[in-house]
C-alpha cells in the first residue's frame, strides 16, 4: 500500500472513531447506524422481485443508484471511508429480508484485481460482504471467484462487455466443496449487468447455476 493511502486510511479510521455515531450523510447525531432516519427515507427502494433474469438466474437490486446511496458508495470506493460499508449493508439487508428467500446462502462478490485492492488498501465489496454476513449469518467465500485481469471503467454498454470478458476465473477446487450450496452474488451497482453476467457465465461453463444475484443499487 502506498504511504499516502496508509496515512489516509489511518486518518479516516480515526475520524470514524470520533464520528462513530454520526450520520455519514447529514452529520446529525440522531443515529447509531451511521445513517439517520431522515437520510434513510431518501433512499429509493425498488420492488421486491427480480428486476432481471440472466440465463434464468434472478438479479435483484435493492435501490436506485441516486442521492444518499450514491454518496455512500462513493465514500466507500473513492474516499477511503470504510465505515460506509455498514449503512450500505443495512440497506441491502433490509431489502433482502423482505424478499423472504429461505435458503442458506454462501456470499460471494466480484473481486477486484489485486493491484486495485492494494491501491485502495481494501476491497470495498469484501467490507460490505463482511457486514452483510454478520446480519444474515451467511458465510463468505473469498476464494471462489478470482479476478485475473484488470478492467478500465467503460461507459458504453458494448465496451463494458468487451472489456470485462475473460476477467474472472472460478476456483474449481473451491466450487467442488460448494456443490450443494446456493450462492448469493452481491455487488454495489449494476449498470449494464456486464460484470454479473460475466461471472454467471463462468459458473455456467462449469455447470453450476445455483446463484442468486443481489445488488445494493441499480442505475436508472
Q: List residues binding Zn ion (CB under 5 A).
A: 23, 25-26, 36, 39
Report the residue number, 34 or 202, with the smaller CB distance to Zn ion. 34
Measure the CA–CA gap between 161 and 175, rounded to whole angstroms.
Answer: 25
**Smallest Cα–Cα separation from 184: which of 138, 148, 146, 143?**
138
Report the residue number, 26 or 135, with the smaller CB distance to Zn ion. 26
Report the residue number, 21 or 165, with the smaller CB distance to Zn ion. 21
Distance of closest approach, residue 35 Cβ to Zn ion, in angstroms? 6
Distance of closest approach, residue 24 Cβ to Zn ion, in angstroms? 8
Report the residue number, 31 or 167, with the smaller CB distance to Zn ion. 31
Distance of closest approach, residue 124 Cβ to Zn ion, in angstroms? 21
Distance of closest approach, residue 109 Cβ to Zn ion, in angstroms? 27
What is the grid cell recorded at 7?
Answer: 496515512
What is the grid cell recorded at 62?
Answer: 435493492
Measure the CA–CA gap between 202 and 129, rounded to whole angstroms.
Answer: 21
Distance of closest approach, residue 39 Cβ to Zn ion, in angstroms? 3
Report the residue number, 2 or 42, with the smaller CB distance to Zn ion. 42
43: Cβ–Cβ under 8 A, 6 or more apart, which residues?
A: 63, 67, 68, 69, 91
- Residue corresponding to grid cell 461507459: 155
Report the residue number, 33 or 174, with the smaller CB distance to Zn ion. 33
Alpha helix segments (H runs only) across 19-113: 37-41, 67-78, 85-99
8-state DSSP, 167: -
Count the helix, strand and coil residues of the chain and give each as a percent rounded to the nearest 5: 45, 20, 35
Distance of closest approach, residue 42 Cβ to Zn ion, in angstroms? 9
Amino acid at each position: 500500500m502506498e504511504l499516502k493511502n496508509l496515512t489516509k486510511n489511518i486518518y479516516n479510521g480515526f475520524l470514524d472513531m470520533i464520528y462513530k455515531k454520526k450520520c455519514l450523510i447529514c452529520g446529525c447525531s440522531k443515529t447509531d447506524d451511521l445513517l439517520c432516519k431522515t437520510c434513510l427515507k431518501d433512499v429509493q427502494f425498488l420492488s421486491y422481485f427480480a428486476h432481471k433474469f440472466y440465463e434464468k438466474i434472478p438479479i435483484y437490486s435493492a435501490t436506485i443508484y441516486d442521492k444518499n446511496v450514491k454518496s455512500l458508495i462513493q465514500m466507500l470506493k473513492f474516499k477511503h471511508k470504510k465505515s460506509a460499508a455498514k449503512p450500505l449493508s443495512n440497506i441491502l439487508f433490509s431489502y433482502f429480508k423482505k424478499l423472504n428467500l429461505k435458503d442458506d446462502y454462501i456470499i460471494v462478490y466480484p473481486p477486484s484485481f489485486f493491484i486495485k485492492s492494494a491501491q485502495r488498501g481494501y476491497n470495498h465489496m469484501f467490507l460490505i460482504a463482511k457486514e452483510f454476513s454478520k446480519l444474515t449469518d451467511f458465510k463468505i467465500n473469498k476464494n471462489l471467484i478470482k479476478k485475473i485481469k484488470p478492467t478500465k471503467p467503460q461507459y458504453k454498454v458494448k465496451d463494458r462487455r468487451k472489456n470485462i470478458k475473460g476477467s474472472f476465473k472460478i476456483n474449481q477446487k473451491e466450487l467442488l466443496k460448494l456443490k450443494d450450496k446456493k450462492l448469493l452474488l452481491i455487488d454495489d451497482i449494476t449498470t449494464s449487468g456486464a460484470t454479473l453476467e460475466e461471472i454467471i457465465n463462468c459458473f455456467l461453463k462449469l455447470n453450476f447455476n445455483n446463484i442468486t444475484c443481489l445488488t445494493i443499487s441499480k442505475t436508472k
